[in-house]
Amino acid sequence: AQSVTQLGSHVSVSEGALVLLRCNYSSSVPPYLFWYVQYPNQGLQLLLKYTTGATLVKGINGFEAEFKKSETSFHLTKPSAHMSDAAEYFCAVRRSQGGSEKLVFGKGTKLTVNP
């Protein structure tokens, strides 16, 4: 069954530094992969997704992620962190099972940006 693992429940970076949030997946079929962000006291919103095609996916707010099949990874990066990036980030994979489909989410990584 498809699943995701997010390494690091908390990540702290300085403003202007590189942001790297790690996500590894397991899937027996070509995966569809997603990153969602949850700002404090708000619902989740989609940052970016990979379904097919180009393995480097660009999302909103300067984030991007690269699908690496050999490493079963879909890490999220941003070259320069901004204070407004402080939020919780969730990686997700589409699970297809018995004619049903759903998204399976990781436990989340809380990003803190220090001035």
Partner 1 sequence: GAGVSQSPSNKVTEKGKDVELRCDPISGHTALYWYRQRLGQGLEFLIYFQGNSAPDKSGLPSDRFSAERTGESVSTLTIQRTQQEDSAVYLCASSPTRVWETQYFGPGTRLLVL
User: Where along the sequence are the contacts to partner 1 (CB under 8 A)?
Assistant: 9, 32, 36, 41-46, 49, 51, 90, 92, 94, 99-108
The residues with which 74 forms a beta bridge, in sequence order, are 67
Nearer to partner 1, 24 or 105 (CB): 105
Nearer to partner 1, 43 or 115 (CB): 43
Shortest distance in whole angstroms from residue 52 CB to partner 1: 10
Nearer to partner 1, 9 or 14 (CB): 9
Shortest distance in whole angstroms from residue 29 CB to partner 1: 12
The residues with which 87 forms a beta bridge, in sequence order, are 111
Shortest distance in whole angstroms from residue 108 CB to partner 1: 5
Q: Whose CA is closest to 78, among 39, 35, 23, 20?
A: 20
Q: Whose CA is closest to 74, among 3, 5, 26, 22?
A: 22
Q: How far apart are CA 47 and CA 106, in angstroms?
A: 15
